[in-house]
Amino acid sequence: DIVMTQTPLSLSVTPGQPASISCKSSQSLLHSDGKTYLYWYLQRPGQSPQLLIYEVSSRFSGVPDRFSGSGSGTDFTLKISRVEAEDVGVYYCMQAIQLPPWTFGQGTKVEIK
């Protein structure tokens, strides 16, 4: 199974400041079809996960443009350009190159200072 490793595991950010989360996979997520199967989810406190980013860098419907994804191969990054109070929660990366299973990172908890 592909192992997804996120860093840091927790992050405390001042509102209006940027934040960055790293996700590394144990194998390349680039498929022969040219797509890279890396996704980002946010789970706000007490809520179910919600999709933020698909295929590395495409924002899902309704996701603010302060969220951006980048990376290739085995190294990926989720960036929040200016953190807002509603961005608090746990962020997970997920791979879909070698299935099953779909595997998630351990999660990165983001809180506001």
Q: Which residues bind another protein (CB under 8 A)?
A: 31, 33, 35, 37, 39, 41, 43, 47-51, 54, 60, 90, 92, 94, 96, 99-107
Q: Which is nearer to another protein, 66 or 109 (CB)?
A: 109
Residues pairing with 105 in the sheet: none
Burial class (CB in 10 A: 0-12, 13-18, 19+), 102: middle
In angstroms, what is the minimal distance from the CB of 37 to another protein? 6
Q: Which is nearer to another protein, 43 or 81 (CB)?
A: 43
Report the relative pairing of strands 19-25 and 75-80 from DSSP bridges: antiparallel
